[in-house]
């Protein structure tokens, strides 16, 4: 009776070992066949000067895109993300607020950044043409706009 129990226990252990080995093998195969993804592809670093919005990349794949925005200027700045087919330097003025532009198509924004301040925000963007602007009064007119493409 004792010998029978011992045999049964060994059989269970062997089965368990086989199950574990099979599972590990399957996981490894899945990981190897997954397409390589660049984790930085959807991270855009934006530096704001007092007259420009500088991006480290201006074309990114669609999906969740993280903007790391740094105010390198001497005044309060911001970044507003507009989805538009209008050229970056042809955004319409806001008739109600002199010096500011229309934010039609806005997908989101950083909010105000003090000089040296940095902020990160993430937007889920579909393919299309975008323009990034700073909409502090007159800043767009000083050149704070840039084209951005989501593919
Ligand atoms: Cu600005």
Give me the DSSP letters along 75-132.
S-B--EEEE-SS-TT-PPB-TTSTT-B--TTEEEE---B-TT-EEEEEEEE-SEEEEE
Same domain, 30 and 47: no
- Return the pLDDT at 134: 98
Cα 112 to averaged position of ligand 1 atoms, centre (Å): 9
**Confidence category of residue 35, pLDDT binned at 50, 70, 90:** low
What sign does the CA torsion over 55, 58, 42, 141 have?
A: positive
Total domains in the fold of the chain: 2
Cα 81 to averaged position of ligand 1 atoms, centre (Å): 13
Cα 144 to averaged position of ligand 1 atoms, centre (Å): 6
Residues 6+ apart with CB under 8 A from 9: none
Give the pairing type, strands 43-48 and 106-109.
unpaired
**Confidence category of residue 30, pLDDT binned at 50, 70, 90:** very low
Same domain, 97 and 136: yes
Same domain, 71 and 123: yes
Cα 26 to averaged position of ligand 1 atoms, centre (Å): 53
Same domain, 103 and 135: yes
For residue 140, pLDDT over 60 is answered with: yes
Same domain, 123 and 80: yes
User: What burial class does residue 144 get, using C-beta atoms within 10 Å of its C-beta: 0-12 exposed, 13-18 middle, 19+ buried?
Assistant: buried
Cα 41 to averaged position of ligand 1 atoms, centre (Å): 26
Same domain, 18 and 51: no
What CATH number did the domain enclosing 135 receive? 2.60.40.420
Same domain, 27 and 47: no
For residue 139, pLDDT over 90 is answered with: yes
Same domain, 139 and 93: yes
Q: Which residue has the higher pLDDT, 39 or 14?
A: 39
Name the phi and psi angles at 32, rounded to 5: -70, -35
Distance CA 57, CA 43 (A): 9
Instruction: Tell me the residue range of the domain where 140 lies.
Output: 43-150
Q: Which residue has the higher pLDDT, 68 or 31?
A: 68
Same domain, 105 and 137: yes
What is the number of alpha carbons within 13 Å of residue 125 lying toward its C-beta? 31
Cα 129 to averaged position of ligand 1 atoms, centre (Å): 21
Same domain, 107 and 132: yes
Same domain, 113 and 68: yes
For residue 67, pLDDT over 60 is answered with: yes
Same domain, 28 and 62: no
Mean pLDDT of 29-51: 73
Cα 2 to averaged position of ligand 1 atoms, centre (Å): 83
Mean pLDDT of 77-100: 97
Mean pLDDT of 51-74: 97
Instruction: Look at the chain and count its residues.
Output: 151
- Return the pLDDT at 141: 97
Give the pairing type, strands 118-125 and 63-71.
antiparallel
């Amino acid at each position: 009776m004792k010998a029978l129990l011992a045999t049964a226990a060994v059989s269970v252990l062997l089965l368990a070992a086989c199950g574990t080995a099979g599972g590990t093998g399957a996981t490894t195969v899945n990981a190897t066949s997954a397409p390589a993804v660049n984790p930085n592809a959807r991270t855009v670093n934006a530096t704001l000067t007092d007259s420009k919005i500088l991006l480290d990349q201006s074309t990114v794949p669609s999906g969740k895109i993280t903007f790391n925005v740094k105010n390198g200027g001497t005044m309060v700045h911001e970044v507003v993300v507009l989805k538009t087919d209008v050229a970056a330097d042809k955004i319409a003025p806001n008739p109600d607020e002199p010096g500011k532009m229309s934010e039609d198509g806005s997908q989101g924004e950083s909010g105000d950044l003090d000089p040296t301040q940095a902020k990160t925000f993430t937007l889920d963007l579909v393919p299309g043409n975008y323009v990034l602007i700073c909409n502090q009064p007159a800043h767009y007119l000083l050149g704070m706009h840039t084209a951005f493409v989501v593919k």
